[in-house]
């Protein structure tokens, strides 16, 4: 199966830890590095052979179980970025930081808030990545998506964006390419704004996956965790950051189970104190 994929882009029992920012997770039964043009055939073959599949980008918002993923993991490698006047088009495998840099070089404003956020374009659209200064939904124009009915163009309205979510979450749809509409500005202004907004963030360093839990309408998850006295709480090699309560750090010795158990501990403690059910912002795969 998948004989049409070059051998140097096909890996059996491949460790997924290097593909995640936590540096955790077991093996993929099969990892395929694919061009966009190959995805439709591969997914069709997966479905025909009843193989589960999962798309991974930079792995900055996912926790993969120590047992790995018993299926096909797809890593999309096309990363072309094109600028036409105020329109920027990028393959979903493009690094979001490269997109921000190119927008800046062209004096295009709208993505400054994303400076320093680790993600691929596809991952950012999938989860409506953002900060308090902006989000993907505010600049996306459309995206090309592989669905069960073939490749379809979605307008920004059809993406049904919400806080850290989109219509693509929980589906087999795969984002292939995205188009953004940006505002004309100047290179110095865009660069200055990007640097200013990046300094406003308080993200901890280390092996982590960004915010673990979503904020609610009436609460900020990190503040609840802090008030619950959980900063510094440790299970195995997984630690609630002392800098930001909504971050869990792998101290270099953690297992995925350590992180998973710490997530559960935090949820139970916050529920018992505040009666609030925290919802994960990160994806949990294989648990």
Let me know: does 190 contact 112? Beta carbons within 8 Å.
Answer: yes
| Helices vs strands, H then E, count in the chain | 6, 18
Q: Alpha-carbon distance 69 to 76, whole Å?
A: 17
Task: State how beta strands 69-76 and 140-147 pair.
Answer: unpaired
Number of alpha carbons in the 13 Å side-chain half-sphere of residue 215: 13
Q: Residue 177 belongs to what H/E stretch?
A: strand 174-181
Active site includes 280?
A: no
Q: Which of 109, 166, 211, 241 is catalytic?
A: 211
How many other C-beta atoms can be found within 10 angstroms of the C-beta atom of residue 275?
7
- Cα 246 to Cα 103, 109, 180, 197: the distances in Å are 30, 29, 30, 20
Q: Which of 109, 119, 164, 185 is catalytic?
A: 164
Cα four-point dihedral sign 87, 91, 92, 94: negative
Active site includes 164?
A: yes
CB-neighbour burial class of residue 174 (10 A; exposed 0-12, middle 13-18, buried 19+): buried
Q: Which of 109, 185, 241, 281 is catalytic?
A: 281
Q: Alpha-carbon distance 231 to 216, whole Å?
A: 20
Residues with catalytic function: 164, 211, 281
């Amino acid at each position: 199966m998948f004989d049409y994929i070059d051998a140097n882009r096909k890996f059996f029992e491949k460790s997924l830890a290097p593909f995640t920012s936590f540096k955790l997770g077991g093996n993929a039964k099969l990892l395929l590095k694919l061009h966009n043009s190959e995805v439709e055939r591969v997914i069709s073959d997966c479905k025909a052979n009843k193989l589960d599949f999962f798309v991974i980008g930079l792995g900055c918002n996912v926790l993969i179980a120590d047992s790995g993923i018993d299926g096909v993991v797809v890593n999309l490698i096309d990363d072309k970025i094109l600028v036409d006047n105020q329109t920027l088009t990028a393959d979903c495998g493009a690094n979001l930081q490269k997109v921000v840099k190119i927008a800046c070089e062209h004096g295009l404003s709208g993505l400054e808030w994303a400076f320093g956020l680790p993600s691929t374009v596809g991952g950012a659209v999938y989860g409506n990545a953002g900060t308090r200064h902006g989000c993907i939904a505010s600049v996306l124009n459309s995206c090309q998506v592989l669905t069960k009915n073939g490749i379809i163009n979605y307008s920004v309205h059809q993406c049904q964006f919400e806080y850290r979510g989109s219509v693509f979450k929980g589906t087999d749809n795969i984002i292939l390419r995205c188009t953004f509409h940006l505002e004309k500005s100047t290179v110095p202004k865009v660069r200055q704004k990007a640097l200013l907004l990046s300094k406003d963030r308080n993200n901890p360093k280390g092996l982590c996956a960004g915010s673990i839990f979503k904020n609610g309408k009436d609460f900020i998850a990190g503040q609840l965790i802090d008030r619950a006295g959980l900063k510094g709480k440790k299970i195995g090699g997984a630690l609630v950051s002392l800098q930001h309560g909504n971050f869990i750090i792998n101290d270099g010795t953690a297992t995925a189970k350590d992180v998973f158990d710490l997530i559960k501990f935090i949820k139970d403690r916050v529920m018992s104190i505040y009666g609030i059910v925290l919802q994960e912002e990160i994806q949990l795969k294989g648990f």
